[in-house]
Structure formats: structure tokens, C-alpha cells
Structure 1
Amino acid sequence: MDDDEWHVPEDVYHFPSVLKGHKELDDVWDLPETVREIYTQSVQATKDGSNILAGIGLRATIEAICNDRSISGKTLDKRIDGLAKAGLISQTDAERLHAIRFLGNDAAHEIKNADSKNLLIALRIIEHLLVNIYILDGEADGKLETIIKTSTQFLSLLEKKLPTFTAGEEVPLAKILGKEMRRFHGYFATHEKYLVDQITSGAYTKLTLGKLDLYAGSKDKLQHFVVP
């Protein structure tokens, strides 16, 4: 460049903004609306270099997940521990979420700018959480033999099995569910009690209560149900 030439500084911006080293979730629309909104806004804040807002947003994403999964607690640390106690995350995952809680608290209360590299790590932890709680369950449901945990899943499975029985048959749930019993993994007693309560209250009418009796060499008497 000659002495009499002007040098014009150039700043390069990418639109839309990108986050180097980060791959966004493919199935973000599988997330509940509130969780999706706060997560996507947190990603955008991270991309834009708004690190204080990003730190607060990632912390708020954890709060949104707890709200969606009805995990109670007066403080976020108690709610994170509640996620682990409910079996939604591992203890290792909980410890990682506490690190994001610290990061978010510093951003919110001390107006502290989080380090960009730390934010990227925190974002990956949040995405791991979202995939495990929401996306994998959605992909596996109906395709793999997943554990039956909710009453909705239980009743859906039960009603798929009932058409194979004729009116007047009196059998325990083990007979109705057959091989699917392996999918309850510690939840069976809870679901059976739920069904008994629903029948007793009149809320469920596709079965009635039968006798308590031994079945197929069982050691204990089993609750039987009658197909109307």
C-alpha cells in the first residue's frame, strides 16, 4: 500500500450469527414450548456475545425444565437435586447443573460476564439434558420397549391388551400384560394400585375388581380383574 492510500478497517459479521464449535439440536420442536423458548434465546444470546444474558438464560432453562416436570423446591439447588431423586437425571448430571446454577447466579446477582468457553460447555450440558429428558424419550416411545412409568403409558398399554380377552374372564394383570410385565421395572405396584383406585371410584370402567387369589403358582395372592 502506498503512503497516500487510505486503509479502511473492516469488521466482518455473520448473519445469522454462528457459534463456532456448536451444533444446534435437530429436534428442538420436540421440546415443550416454554423450555424451547428460553433455550433458543439462550443460544442466541451466546451467539451474540451477550454472555451475561446467556448465563442467566441457561440457568432459567433448568428452572423451566423443573417447572415442566413438576419438580418442586424453594431454591434451584433443591430442584436440581429433585430432578436426580425423580430419576430424570444422574447424580453426575446434577453436579454439572449445579455448575450452571453458579454461572447463572454470578451473571444475575453480580452482573458477571461468563467466559465464552465456559458458556459453550454449559450449553452442551443443557443440550445433553434436553436430549435425555425430552428428545430420546420421544424417539424411543412406540419404537423401543421402554419402561412404563406414567399412568397414561400404563392405561394405553393395558387397553391394547384387553381386546384379546373375552367378557367374563377373571385374571390378574400379569396374565393381561404377559411379556410386557418386564417393562414395569419397579413401577408395577404403583400402577396396579392406581387401577384399583380408578375402578373403585368409577373413573375406569373397562375392567371391574375380581377376587384375590393365587395364580400360576404364585406365592402370594394376586388381585384379579374381570373383563365386563
Structure 2
Amino acid sequence: MTKKTVWNYCIKCKQNTNHDIEGTHQEEHDPDDYHCMVEHSVVKCRGCDTVSFRQVFHDYEGAYPDYNDEWVVPREIETFPKAQTGNLDTKHLPEIVESIYQETCNAYRDGALTLAGIGFRATIEAICNDQGITGKELSTRINNLASKGLISKKDSTRLHSIRFMGNDAAHDIKKPTQKSLQAALIIVEHLITTVYIIDRESAGKLDAIIEDYSKFEVLLDEKLKEFSAGDEYPLPKFLGKDTRLISGSTKDIEKTLNARIGKGEYTKLKFGKQDKYLDSKDQLQHYIVV
């Protein structure tokens, strides 16, 4: 016997697919109370065989005639388990950030929209706490996220919108709309990706600007492996093309390097001659590989 099929959302395929109806139970309510019917079904996806529970509410009292004078009965369809909300892999996030983000996504998924609005605001607070961003008010802390270079000015403007939504939900018990929460989810996930995920995923795969001296020394140690003891060159020769990775002028980096060589703290190079660079009046320091 051919099974009946329905068009239903599959949490594994993450889209609507044809489902076989494995079994159905119908519960009709007393018409004198409210004329409706609730239909419960066990359904199986024809694509991946995932089994779900489907509930359909048939609202007979809300029926209306269409253009062909045929009566249309409104239906509300829910599928369980519900589709997961949120698209980020959170296993490498700080525990507090992961916890608040996941709880907020679960509230949004389960229709607790007011709690979800508060939760997205709380996620921003959790990130500020984890990053050591200070400020008495969240508005100040969001601005400080931008001033410290963790996010852009445009990103901070978006975060203020979530702050407004969260404040309305918490203080005025104003329920956010589905559209506003969907936008908030995108913004918060962009924030998490910017602060935590991009650097981790790109580390060792893309060249990165060097701003800390300690990272410069790691680069220099690696580049010196290409030279022999006694080789004498200026710093740009040792660094080669990777000179471009140093943020700003190399003079500050070189000043720190000279101080460490002078104190005997960096022992892979020693001072060599000083020579003029082209037509410049400045003396160019050379170094000898030890």
C-alpha cells in the first residue's frame, strides 16, 4: 500500500522535503467549545530517512472562502524536534560566551522571543566581560570594543541596535519580532566570528600583520634559518619580502632588537658594520649571524 506523503521540514536535510506519513492520530475538539482539530503524525524524510513528529492545528472556526467560493481552513504546522537556530561551531568559544549564545539560540528556536531579545544583549555583555572591555554602561563598552580595534565603527552601530532591543525586552517587556531577532542573530554571529573565529581559522594559513615584538622575533628566528653563520646584512635583507608584515616603520622594531642584542637577551645576531643607505644620511645597521 502506498503511504501518504506530506511536504515537511527535515532537520537533517535543513529544507522542506517529501515525507512519508508513518502513522497519524487526530483529535477533534468539541464544536460547542471551539471547532478545531489537532492532527499528530510520525513522518519520515524520503531523502535521508530521518523521523520527525508533525503537529497540524486545523482552525475550522477561522475558515474563509477563496475566489472559487471554496472554504479554506487555516493550518498551523509545527515539526519536532525543531530546527536548530544558530550557525556557529561554538566548541572553541569561551565557556560563558558559548553558554549565553546557545541559550539565546534555543530560546529563539522555541519561540521565547522576549527572552531571546534579552539573550542577544547578554551575549554582547558576555563578550565584553571575556575581552576585559570596561565601562559602566553597555553603550560605553560597545564603543570601547570599537576603540580597541576589536570591531569596526559600523559594527558598533549595529550592536547598539541590539542593545535597544534587549533593553525594550527586559524593561518594557516588549516582544521582538521574528525579523528583528533574525537580524540580531546575524549581527551577533558576525561579532563572535570577528572576535574569536577568524583569527583562529586563519592562523598559519594567511600572512598576518605583526604588531607585537615577540611575534617579530618568531619571524626573525625562522628567517635566519636560511642564512649561515658569519653572514652580515641589514635587517630588511634577513626579512626579505616579509618586511611588509611589520606594522608601520621597522625603526621601532629594530630599536627593540638592538636593545636586546646589547643586553645579551637575543643571541642569534650580533652587531656588524653601519653603512649609509643609498643617498640617505641615515646609517643602516648591519647584523652578523652568530
TM-score scaled by structure 2? 0.61
Change (3 A) 1:91 1:9: same
Shift of 1:117: 1.8
Asked if the contact 1:209–1:225 (Cα under 8 Å) also holds between the matched residues in 2, the reply is yes
Equivalent residue of 1:128, what SS? helix
Q: Does 2:145 match 1:99?
A: no
1:95 partner amino acid:
T
Which residue, out of 177, 183, 189, partners 2:245? 183
Residue 161 of structure 1 aligns with which residue? 223
Tell me the C-alpha RMSD between the 2 structures: 3.4
Change (3 A) 1:187 1:102: farther
Shift of 1:159: 2.5
**Structure holding more strand per residue:** 2
Distance 1:195 1:68 in 2: 33
Shift of 1:16: 3.6
Change (3 A) 1:55 1:6: closer
1:118 partner amino acid:
S
Shift of 1:51: 2.3
Residue 87 of structure 2 aligns with which residue? 24
Q: Does 2:149 match 1:48?
A: no
Change (3 A) 1:189 1:73: farther
1:180 partner amino acid:
D
Change (3 A) 1:165 1:78: farther
Residue 137 of structure 1 aligns with which residue? 199
Bigger CA radius of gyration: 2
Give structure 2 stretches of 5+ with no counterpart: 1-26, 30-36, 41-54, 56-77
Asked if the contact 1:207–1:225 (Cα under 8 Å) also holds between the matched residues in 2, the reply is no
User: How many correspondences in the alignment?
Assistant: 220
Q: Which has the higher contact order (CA 8 A, sep 6+)?
A: 1
Change (3 A) 1:68 1:180: farther
Shift of 1:9: 2.8
1:116 partner amino acid:
Q
Change (3 A) 1:96 1:158: same
**Structure holding more helix per residue:** 1
Asked if the contact 1:212–1:221 (Cα under 8 Å) also holds between the matched residues in 2, the reply is no
Give structure 1 stretches of 5+ with no counterpart: none
